[in-house]
Structure 1
């Protein structure tokens, strides 16, 4: 069967709008995954969009806090954030940069704005780790904008490839456990793009500028700004922009299909492991 066989087009299995929320020391954001509407989408545990030009809504940042058992992915569109952790790692995320942090066995880190004015905008995604990797040593995959390649698969279409592959362009992030795809897609008004996703992955599209349709023929569905579409039914994605230029992130990952015990900043497989994470943190073993 051809990769682009029309019977394998992905369809919109569900749509939802992100909900206003706050996190850290009061940073305003939009929670898309991780709410009552969509608690998770295996292996994805949370998706937050942050975006404001009001410093009072981001200056307090995310002071020191712990993580264990999963990964955080921060993708900056505008603004600068400095991160530090208790292992001595430190750096600054700039517009177009990506940090893929594997918390593993545990660390304590902070993410604080490096600016007092202007716009702060981007995404944070949480990705679960399989049981075998939850207690691995913490590590970072951090890439400045110059290391995120851009594909131009069609006229009026450009794709920043953070993870996965578009044609001959491959993203820098590698994670064998979930084999992730993370694309930032820009479509000019009226343009369309077709792309094959890895078979068996769970996938979603989140539109953050403009609007588009997903699918083919009678199955096509409109998705508006600040709406997320959960994909199903096939592994060939077709996107078509509406009357305005559109930007969306396309994210996919291999589901882990493991039990999840989750509370706050810790994600384990059992309640006993979760309680141990709290004990280890309180006793300074991170």
Structure 2
């Protein structure tokens, strides 16, 4: 067995990890008053870098989300948004536009900077999803912005023997 294979085998986790600490999400508002729960907060950011924030937005009350996230700037990180249910339109200063909808993923790399908006394209019903903010490495922070929508039907899916459905993002 070569040294690389031996190191790889030695690094394999063979037992479950213990829960170190539990954190409750913090109810907050962002954008034009969208109600959300922020799971990763400032007290965890340095420890969990490159993970900056994880937000969950969930409501069937349009007053909680209908104003959305009007034009605002981002720089030096990227966001990955998974829409469980609902519809949100993305537009940005780099000329990108896309519709995030049920089961889809939006990946936006702000890098050197972008101004964008995410506005609901629904006025009633449930809207739910998650947004993960990832810090970019210093060498990538001044790259050009990038954006892509992935529709639900384009994402790889797998069902375990126990009937658990998995979507790969």
* TM-score in terms of structure 2 length: 0.89
Q: Select 2:35's aligned residue among 12, 28, 32.
A: 28
Shift of 1:140: 1.5
Match of 1:149 in 2: 156
Distance 2:13 2:69 in 1: 43
> What is the aligned length?
159
- The answer on whether the counterparts of 2:45 and 2:51 sit within 8 Å (CA) in structure 1 is no
**1:64 and 2:74 matched:** no
Relative to its length, the structure with more helix (as a share) is 2
Q: 1:130-168: CA deviations, max 9, x gaps?
A: 000000000113200001111123313221111xxxxxx
Q: 1:188-231: CA deviations, max 9, x gaps?
A: xxxxxxxxxxxxxxxxxxxxxxxxxxxxxxxxxxxxxxxxxxxx
Q: 1:74-109: CA deviations, max 9, x gaps?
A: 110010000101121111101100011110100100
The CA RMSD measured in Å over matched residues stands at: 1.5
Q: Select 1:102's aligned residue among 109, 115, 139.
A: 109
Distance 2:99 2:84 in 1: 13
**1:39 and 2:45 matched:** yes
* TM-score in terms of structure 1 length: 0.53
Q: Which runs of 5+ in 2 are unaligned?
A: 1-8
Distance 1:146 1:73 in 2: 17
Match of 2:14 in 1: 5
Q: Which runs of 5+ in 1 are unaligned?
A: 163-286
Shift of 1:35: 4.1
Q: How has the CA–CA distance of structure 1 residues 115 and 13 changed in structure 2, closer, same or farther, with 3 Å as cutoff? A: same
